[in-house]
Amino acid sequence: MFGRIARRYDLMNAVMTGGRHHAWRRLAVGEARPAGGRALDICCGTGDFALELARQGAAVVAGVDFGREMLSLAARKAQAAGLTDRVQWHLADALQMPFPDGAFVCATSGFSLRNVDDVGRALREMARVVAPGGRVAVLELTPVRSRLFGPAFRAYFRGLVPLVGRLVASDRAAYTYLPNSVRAFPTADALTDLMRQAGLVEVRYRLLALSTVALHLGVKP
Protein backbone atom coordinates (compact mmCIF):
# COMPACT_ATOMS: atom_id res chain seq x y z
CA MET A 1 0.00 0.00 0.00
CA PHE A 2 2.71 2.49 0.94
CA GLY A 3 4.58 1.59 -2.22
CA ARG A 4 1.51 2.55 -4.25
CA ILE A 5 1.16 5.97 -2.65
CA ALA A 6 4.86 6.80 -2.22
CA ARG A 7 5.03 9.42 -4.95
CA ARG A 8 2.00 11.31 -3.61
CA TYR A 9 2.74 10.69 0.06
CA ASP A 10 4.39 14.06 0.79
CA LEU A 11 1.70 15.98 -1.07
CA MET A 12 -1.07 14.24 0.85
CA ASN A 13 0.68 14.96 4.16
CA ALA A 14 0.82 18.63 3.25
CA VAL A 15 -2.85 18.70 2.21
CA MET A 16 -4.12 16.85 5.29
CA THR A 17 -2.15 18.95 7.80
CA GLY A 18 -2.13 22.31 6.05
CA GLY A 19 1.66 22.00 5.90
CA ARG A 20 1.96 21.86 9.69
CA HIS A 21 3.58 18.42 9.78
CA HIS A 22 7.00 19.98 9.14
CA ALA A 23 6.68 22.19 12.22
CA TRP A 24 5.62 19.22 14.34
CA ARG A 25 8.67 17.27 13.19
CA ARG A 26 10.99 20.17 13.99
CA LEU A 27 9.49 20.33 17.47
CA ALA A 28 9.88 16.58 18.00
CA VAL A 29 13.48 16.57 16.82
CA GLY A 30 14.27 19.47 19.12
CA GLU A 31 12.96 17.40 22.02
CA ALA A 32 14.98 14.36 20.88
CA ARG A 33 18.26 16.32 21.10
CA PRO A 34 20.28 14.63 18.36
CA ALA A 35 23.11 17.20 18.16
CA GLY A 36 26.54 15.63 17.83
CA GLY A 37 25.44 12.00 18.04
CA ARG A 38 24.05 9.12 16.03
CA ALA A 39 20.28 9.30 15.56
CA LEU A 40 17.69 6.79 14.39
CA ASP A 41 14.33 7.25 12.69
CA ILE A 42 12.14 4.16 12.35
CA CYS A 43 9.59 3.64 9.58
CA CYS A 44 11.21 6.67 8.00
CA GLY A 45 9.07 6.76 4.87
CA THR A 46 10.20 9.47 2.48
CA GLY A 47 12.76 10.71 4.98
CA ASP A 48 11.45 13.99 6.39
CA PHE A 49 12.11 13.08 10.03
CA ALA A 50 15.56 11.65 9.31
CA LEU A 51 16.57 14.72 7.32
CA GLU A 52 15.36 17.00 10.11
CA LEU A 53 17.52 15.05 12.58
CA ALA A 54 20.52 15.80 10.35
CA ARG A 55 19.58 19.46 10.02
CA GLN A 56 19.42 19.78 13.80
CA GLY A 57 22.94 18.49 14.23
CA ALA A 58 22.98 14.71 14.32
CA ALA A 59 26.40 13.49 13.22
CA VAL A 60 24.91 10.46 11.43
CA VAL A 61 21.29 9.45 10.96
CA ALA A 62 19.96 5.96 10.24
CA GLY A 63 16.59 5.86 8.52
CA VAL A 64 14.85 2.47 8.68
CA ASP A 65 11.94 1.31 6.55
CA PHE A 66 10.93 -1.82 4.67
CA GLY A 67 9.31 0.08 1.82
CA ARG A 68 11.76 0.21 -1.08
CA GLU A 69 9.78 2.90 -2.90
CA MET A 70 9.77 5.12 0.18
CA LEU A 71 13.51 4.68 0.75
CA SER A 72 14.23 5.48 -2.88
CA LEU A 73 12.40 8.80 -2.56
CA ALA A 74 14.11 9.49 0.78
CA ALA A 75 17.53 9.01 -0.83
CA ARG A 76 16.66 11.50 -3.57
CA LYS A 77 15.54 14.06 -1.00
CA ALA A 78 18.78 13.62 0.95
CA GLN A 79 20.78 14.20 -2.21
CA ALA A 80 18.78 17.34 -3.05
CA ALA A 81 19.38 18.62 0.50
CA GLY A 82 23.12 17.90 0.35
CA LEU A 83 22.88 15.46 3.26
CA THR A 84 23.85 12.15 1.64
CA ASP A 85 27.05 11.95 3.69
CA ARG A 86 25.15 12.13 6.99
CA VAL A 87 22.03 10.05 6.40
CA GLN A 88 22.09 6.30 5.80
CA TRP A 89 19.02 4.39 4.62
CA HIS A 90 18.37 0.82 5.80
CA LEU A 91 15.86 -1.64 4.37
CA ALA A 92 14.92 -3.28 7.66
CA ASP A 93 12.09 -4.16 10.04
CA ALA A 94 11.48 -1.77 12.94
CA LEU A 95 10.54 -4.76 15.11
CA GLN A 96 13.95 -6.39 14.67
CA MET A 97 16.56 -3.78 13.82
CA PRO A 98 20.13 -4.58 12.75
CA PHE A 99 21.79 -2.32 15.33
CA PRO A 100 23.59 -3.07 18.61
CA ASP A 101 22.29 -2.01 22.00
CA GLY A 102 22.88 1.63 22.85
CA ALA A 103 23.98 2.64 19.35
CA PHE A 104 22.11 5.97 19.19
CA VAL A 105 21.65 9.12 21.25
CA CYS A 106 18.00 9.26 20.22
CA ALA A 107 15.34 7.43 18.26
CA THR A 108 12.29 8.96 16.61
CA SER A 109 9.09 7.80 14.98
CA GLY A 110 6.77 10.04 12.99
CA PHE A 111 3.20 8.96 12.18
CA SER A 112 4.33 5.36 11.81
CA LEU A 113 3.67 3.33 14.96
CA ARG A 114 0.09 2.80 13.79
CA ASN A 115 1.53 0.73 10.96
CA VAL A 116 3.55 -1.83 12.93
CA ASP A 117 2.20 -5.21 14.00
CA ASP A 118 3.29 -4.81 17.62
CA VAL A 119 3.54 -1.28 19.05
CA GLY A 120 5.05 -2.46 22.34
CA ARG A 121 7.77 -4.41 20.57
CA ALA A 122 8.61 -1.44 18.34
CA LEU A 123 8.99 0.75 21.42
CA ARG A 124 11.17 -1.85 23.12
CA GLU A 125 13.41 -1.96 20.04
CA MET A 126 13.70 1.84 20.03
CA ALA A 127 14.59 1.78 23.73
CA ARG A 128 17.10 -1.04 23.19
CA VAL A 129 19.15 0.78 20.57
CA VAL A 130 19.25 4.10 22.49
CA ALA A 131 22.13 4.70 24.90
CA PRO A 132 21.47 5.46 28.58
CA GLY A 133 20.35 9.06 28.91
CA GLY A 134 19.18 9.09 25.29
CA ARG A 135 15.69 10.05 24.21
CA VAL A 136 12.85 8.41 22.35
CA ALA A 137 10.43 10.79 20.62
CA VAL A 138 7.19 9.60 19.05
CA LEU A 139 4.97 11.88 16.97
CA GLU A 140 1.65 10.26 16.25
CA LEU A 141 -2.00 10.91 15.48
CA THR A 142 -4.13 10.19 18.51
CA PRO A 143 -7.83 9.33 18.85
CA VAL A 144 -9.85 12.48 19.58
CA ARG A 145 -12.02 12.13 22.69
CA SER A 146 -13.42 15.66 22.82
CA ARG A 147 -17.23 15.76 22.75
CA LEU A 148 -17.07 19.20 21.14
CA PHE A 149 -14.43 18.71 18.47
CA GLY A 150 -14.35 14.93 18.14
CA PRO A 151 -17.43 14.43 15.93
CA ALA A 152 -16.33 17.14 13.47
CA PHE A 153 -12.81 15.72 13.26
CA ARG A 154 -14.06 12.19 12.73
CA ALA A 155 -16.40 13.37 9.98
CA TYR A 156 -13.47 15.09 8.25
CA PHE A 157 -11.08 12.22 8.75
CA ARG A 158 -13.42 9.40 7.76
CA GLY A 159 -15.28 11.22 5.00
CA LEU A 160 -13.15 13.91 3.42
CA VAL A 161 -9.67 12.33 3.73
CA PRO A 162 -10.56 9.21 1.67
CA LEU A 163 -12.10 11.47 -0.98
CA VAL A 164 -8.99 13.66 -1.13
CA GLY A 165 -6.88 10.50 -1.22
CA ARG A 166 -8.76 9.36 -4.32
CA LEU A 167 -8.40 12.74 -6.02
CA VAL A 168 -4.78 13.51 -5.09
CA ALA A 169 -3.17 10.09 -4.69
CA SER A 170 -5.60 8.05 -6.83
CA ASP A 171 -5.93 5.65 -3.91
CA ARG A 172 -9.06 5.92 -1.81
CA ALA A 173 -8.36 2.59 -0.10
CA ALA A 174 -5.03 3.76 1.37
CA TYR A 175 -6.60 6.88 2.81
CA THR A 176 -9.53 4.91 4.18
CA TYR A 177 -6.98 2.78 6.02
CA LEU A 178 -5.48 5.92 7.62
CA PRO A 179 -8.51 7.00 9.72
CA ASN A 180 -9.25 3.37 10.59
CA SER A 181 -5.70 2.95 11.90
CA VAL A 182 -6.09 6.02 14.13
CA ARG A 183 -9.37 4.76 15.55
CA ALA A 184 -7.70 1.48 16.54
CA PHE A 185 -4.55 3.10 17.94
CA PRO A 186 -3.92 3.53 21.70
CA THR A 187 -4.87 6.83 23.29
CA ALA A 188 -2.07 9.18 24.33
CA ASP A 189 -2.36 7.93 27.91
CA ALA A 190 -2.23 4.29 26.81
CA LEU A 191 0.80 4.94 24.60
CA THR A 192 2.49 6.58 27.59
CA ASP A 193 1.99 3.36 29.53
CA LEU A 194 3.47 1.32 26.66
CA MET A 195 6.54 3.54 26.61
CA ARG A 196 7.03 2.99 30.33
CA GLN A 197 6.61 -0.74 29.85
CA ALA A 198 9.32 -0.56 27.18
CA GLY A 199 11.71 0.60 29.90
CA LEU A 200 11.62 4.35 29.36
CA VAL A 201 11.38 6.88 32.19
CA GLU A 202 10.29 10.51 32.49
CA VAL A 203 7.64 9.75 29.89
CA ARG A 204 5.38 12.63 29.00
CA TYR A 205 3.35 13.88 26.06
CA ARG A 206 2.13 17.12 24.57
CA LEU A 207 -1.03 17.45 22.49
CA LEU A 208 -0.89 19.44 19.25
CA ALA A 209 -3.28 20.40 16.46
CA LEU A 210 -6.46 20.62 18.53
CA SER A 211 -5.47 17.40 20.34
CA THR A 212 -5.35 15.32 17.13
CA VAL A 213 -1.56 14.83 17.34
CA ALA A 214 0.51 13.78 20.35
CA LEU A 215 4.25 14.24 20.81
CA HIS A 216 5.55 11.65 23.28
CA LEU A 217 8.97 11.73 24.88
CA GLY A 218 10.78 9.21 27.05
CA VAL A 219 14.32 8.79 28.37
CA LYS A 220 16.45 5.63 28.48
CA PRO A 221 17.58 5.13 32.10
pLDDT number for residue 112: 92
How many beta carbons lie within 10 A of that of residue 130, not counting itself? Answer: 28
pLDDT number for residue 82: 97
**DSSP notation for 32-65:** H--TTSEEEEES-TTSHHHHHHHHTT-SEEEEEE
pLDDT number for residue 73: 96
Q: Report how far Cα 32 is from the mean position of its chain's Cα atoms.
A: 13
**DSSP notation for 204-216:** EEEEETTTTEEEE
Residue 53 vs residues 34, 39, 178, 186: alpha-carbon distances, Å: 6, 7, 25, 26
CB 129 within 8 Å of CB 139: no
Residue 92 vs residues 41, 50, 203: alpha-carbon distances, Å: 12, 15, 27
The structural domains of the chain, ordered by start, are 23-146+188-219 (3.40.50.150)
Show pLDDT as tens, one digit a residue, over the chain (221 residues).
777 777 877 877 777 777 899 999 999 999 999 999 999 999 999 999 999 999 999 999 999 999 999 999 999 999 999 999 999 999 999 999 999 999 999 999 999 999 899 999 999 999 999 999 999 999 998 877 656 555 665 555 565 555 555 655 566 666 666 767 777 889 999 999 999 999 999 999 999 988 889 999 999 99
Residue 90 vs residues 97, 106, 118, 174: alpha-carbon distances, Å: 9, 17, 20, 24
pLDDT number for residue 162: 59
